[in-house]
């Protein structure tokens, strides 16, 4: 779902007016140039619609839709093969061999519960299996990418003939996801299993804070797990935010008004895209 965690201590250090508002949509401007940045939830239920009205209000004022990456690539077999190759184990190494026996048993129990034949994935790093289990748990509740904010606006862009751009290629996104392999496998699996068990309550809270544009609360919610993995936070959040900030700033040099849609966690906390844009002198206003 691409909603990653940040350290709770950082939340205590940075709480600004910019982070609190009516919805997860912001206008970014300098002089007469402007664009809109909106926070997405990548996986949702059909019942999560309609979206907060600020999303469509901003959308109607734009000519270009900008997404994190090519959303259609996820169904491309070549993309799927590249993703699996990144998480493939070296010869002779299995997922089970990288985990303590008690954790492996817990992983097997959860896989059986979700009807995932875990033996078919022994060739992959345990982090790949926990990703599959998380997606499976979400799907069991009707939460899926086809209902996400990104997919919704991609279909609208196609229907309206709106120009579409991306901030990174699918290959670049896969390279960032590879940081999950750098985490101690036992620690990563243990925390992932804990998160899966409380996923329903987490999603309920996340949607409440997202709808209200309450980024400090969203930031705090995510911090409970991601704060334990600074290397993943750096790769998946900070590094990408720095790159995206440069790209977004350059968009303000052109006439078409862009609607930039990224995962909401990229807009929360002290390392957010919004903070980085404000530090460059752009005016960032809750829309």
80 — phi, psi (to 5°)?
-65, -40
Contact yes or no for 165/77 (Cβ under 8 A) = no
Asked, for residue 3, whether it belongs to a domain, the answer is: no
Asked, for residue 1, whether it belongs to a domain, the answer is: no
Count of structural domains within the chain = 1
Asked, for residue 137, whether it belongs to a domain, the answer is: yes
18 — phi, psi (to 5°)?
-60, -25
Contact yes or no for 69/169 (Cβ under 8 A) = yes
Per-residue pLDDT, averaged over 278-284, amounts to 98
Per-residue pLDDT, averaged over 18-45, amounts to 87
Look at residue 229 in the predicted model and tell me its pLDDT.
87
Asked, for residue 250, whether it belongs to a domain, the answer is: yes
Per-residue pLDDT, averaged over 140-167, amounts to 96
Asked, for residue 86, whether it belongs to a domain, the answer is: yes
What is the residue range of 233's domain? 8-286
Asked, for residue 2, whether it belongs to a domain, the answer is: no
Confidence of residue 75 (pLDDT cuts 50, 70, 90): confident
CA end-to-end span of the chain: 25
Per-residue pLDDT, averaged over 187-196, amounts to 93
User: Long-range CB contacts (< 8 A, 24+ apart) of 197-203?
Assistant: 199/134, 199/137, 199/138, 200/141, 203/138, 203/141, 203/143
Asked, for residue 187, whether it belongs to a domain, the answer is: yes
Look at residue 74 in the predicted model and tell me its pLDDT.
79
Asked, for residue 166, whether it belongs to a domain, the answer is: yes
Look at residue 5 in the predicted model and tell me its pLDDT.
34
pLDDT at 7 over 70: no
Per-residue pLDDT, averaged over 260-278, amounts to 96
Please tell me the pTM assigned to this model: 0.88
The helix (run of H) or strand (run of E) holding residue 153 is helix 149-160
Which range has the worst mean pLDDT, 30-44, 192-206, 225-239? 225-239
């Amino acid at each position: 779902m691409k909603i990653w965690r940040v350290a709770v201590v950082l939340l205590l250090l940075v709480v600004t007016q910019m982070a609190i508002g009516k919805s997860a949509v912001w206008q970014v401007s300098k002089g007469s140039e402007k664009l809109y940045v909106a926070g997405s939830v990548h996986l949702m239920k059909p019942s999560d619609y309609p979206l907060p009205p600020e999303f469509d209000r901003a959308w109607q004022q734009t000519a270009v839709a900008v997404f994190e990456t090519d959303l259609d690539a996820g169904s491309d077999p070549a993309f799927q093969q590249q993703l699996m190759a990144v998480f493939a184990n070296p010869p002779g190494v299995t997922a089970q061999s990288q985990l303590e026996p008690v954790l492996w048993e817990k992983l097997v129990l959860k896989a059986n519960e979700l009807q995932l034949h875990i033996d078919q994935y022994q060739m992959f790093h345990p982090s790949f299996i926990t990703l599959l289990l998380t997606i499976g748990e979400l799907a069991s509740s009707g939460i899926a990418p086809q209902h996400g904010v990104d997919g919704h606006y991609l279909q609208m862009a196609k229907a309206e003939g709106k120009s579409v751009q991306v901030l990174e290629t699918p290959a670049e996104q896969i390279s960032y996801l590879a940081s999950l392999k750098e985490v101690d496998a036992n620690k990563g699996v243990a925390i992932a299993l804990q998160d899966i068990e409380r996923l329903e309550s987490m999603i309920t809270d996340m949607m409440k804070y997202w709808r209200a544009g309450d980024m400090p609360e969203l930031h705090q919610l995510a911090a409970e797990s991601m704060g334990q993995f600074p290397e993943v936070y750096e790769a998946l959040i900070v590094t990408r935010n720095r790159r995206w900030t440069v790209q977004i700033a350059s968009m303000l040099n052109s006439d078409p008004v862009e609607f930039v849609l990224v995962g909401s966690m990229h807009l929360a906390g002290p390392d957010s895209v919004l903070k980085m844009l404000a530090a460059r002198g752009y005016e960032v206003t809750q829309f």
